[in-house]
Structure 1
Amino acid sequence: MPPSRPSKVATPSPATGTVSAREKLIAAAIATVRYKGFSATSVDEICQAAGVTKGAFFHHFASKEALAVAAAGAWTDIAEQRIFTLPDWTRLADPLDRLLGHIDFRLSMLDGPAEDFTCFVGTMVQESYNSSDPIRAACDASLRAYAVRLAEDIQRAIDTHGIAEGVSAFSLAYHIQAVLQGAFILAKANGHPVIARDSVIHLKRYVAMLFKKE
């Protein structure tokens, strides 16, 4: 039987070096929703995972929906640090090498249980896109922020190397996002990341062909 709840994950505030109740709740929401889905996750479970009281929850958030919106914003910040700032590939000189390095890095993340590598906002929006416009909009903003950030390197690669006719940096960034999100769904359905890894390997081949890279 699977564990009843995921491990707690929280990042200390840079200003104080401590983790606030609000930060704990956001981290618990991200971990629990990735594990169980948004609808199946209750406020009580989030509080238990965060190690805070229900009173503390409602001190910071008016509802589970409000927490979800805040967590979507936090997820964007997590992606900026873990995907676009810290990895070694971000310091490669050639923008095309950075783009391919980005895809390799996303491939390397596809390991272990799905809740460890799948996208929080991608998971949440699949359930909530037609039932909560604030959550849908927050997820859209996070997914778009990823595409905009990735498009910066894609445009630099296009300027340096050229690309197949009719391909824009932003459309390719969204395509990469779409392949990744689809790969996450396949991994959940299949119960193993191997099918997702194959999809990302095909993605890298496709991008290399667009840039006519051997």
Structure 2
Amino acid sequence: MTRPTKLNPERGDARTRLLEAARDVIRRKGFNATTVDDLCKAAGVTKGAYFHHFETKEALGVAAAQFWAETTGAYFADAPYHAPEDPLERVRAYIAFRRALISGDLAEFTCLVGTMTQEAYASHPAIRDACAHSMLDHAATLEPDIALAIAARGMEPEWTATDLARHIQAAIQGAFILAKATGDPAQARSSLDHLARYIDLLFDPAEPSKDQ
């Protein structure tokens, strides 16, 4: 959900370095194609150190999803989109913030848990559940602002703040998939532009024409 910090094999303990390696290598190669050798090389640790911390590749995948949730959660908690006073402006600023992150190599801005979910949802239920926890918890951080925006405008929609928060995440994940399919980050930015327009129409619909 955010751009990674560059892996530094000299920083942190072996487990942390392996999780950082998983974050970066899996986004680049995919979960199934990533090997223990890949992770050990990227982290600068031995296979003995790997198996000391992770008995199976599935255990590594679950831990990587949890690590992603922890690190990106802290990153987004400190992000500038929380600054506007109007809750709807905070939602708009969130989408603009996510759009601004879409640049450079695909592996630098796409989502680790989204990538792993696509590969492991049926074969590794534990990884799927850890990824779902990460995505849904992040979506939930938007719910208070959406609920406040609904209340401030006296809206009584058929949908809920939870529905919209999760739809926003679905749109962002879909934008990442489109960028991967085309090899073009601009496709993802365009998708988020449409998402922003959707939010505008949802909360501030145009007045009906007098001719209607």
Q: When the two structures are superposed, what TM-score results if normalisation uses the length of structure 1?
A: 0.89
Q: How does 1:1-214 map to 2 (within 5 A)?
A: 9=7, 19-83=12-76, 85-163=77-155, 165-212=157-204
SS at match of 2:142: helix
- Deviation at 1:94? 1.4
Letter of the aligned partner of 1:46 in structure 2?
Answer: L
- For residues 154-175 of structure 1, the C-alpha deviation after alignment (integer angstroms, 9 at most, x for no partner) is 1122222344621210000111
* Structure 1 runs of 4+ with >6 Å offset: none
Distance between the aligned counterparts of 1:7 and 1:109, measured in 2? 13
SS at match of 2:141: helix
Cα distance change on mapping 1:210 and 1:162 into 2, 3 Å:
farther
Distance between the aligned counterparts of 2:23 and 2:119, measured in 1? 15
Contact persistence 1:113–1:192 (CA under 8 A):
no
Distance between the aligned counterparts of 1:72 and 1:175, measured in 2? 21
Letter of the aligned partner of 1:95 in structure 2?
Answer: P
Contact persistence 1:128–1:136 (CA under 8 A):
yes
Q: When the two structures are superposed, what TM-score results if normalisation uses the length of structure 2?
A: 0.90
Identity of aligned residues (%): 47
Structure 2: gaps (5+ residues): 207-212
Distance between the aligned counterparts of 1:125 and 1:22, measured in 2? 22
SS at match of 1:27: helix
- Deviation at 1:147? 1.3
- For residues 189-208 of structure 1, the C-alpha deviation after alignment (integer angstroms, 9 at most, x for no partner) is 11111111111000001011
- Deviation at 1:11? 11
- Deviation at 1:20? 1.3
Cα distance change on mapping 1:31 and 1:60 into 2, 3 Å:
same
- Deviation at 1:213? 6.7
Greater RCO between the two (CA within 8 Å, min separation 6)? Answer: 2
- Deviation at 1:9? 2.5
- Deviation at 1:7? 8.7
Cα distance change on mapping 1:110 and 1:59 into 2, 3 Å:
same
Considering only aligned residues, what root-mean-square deviation do their CA atoms show, in Å?
A: 2.0
SS at match of 1:39: coil
Letter of the aligned partner of 1:171 in structure 2?
Answer: D
Distance between the aligned counterparts of 1:23 and 1:202, measured in 2? 37
Contact persistence 2:9–2:44 (CA under 8 A):
no
Cα distance change on mapping 1:120 and 1:38 into 2, 3 Å:
same
Distance between the aligned counterparts of 1:35 and 1:64, measured in 2? 17
Structure 1: gaps (5+ residues): 1-5, 13-17
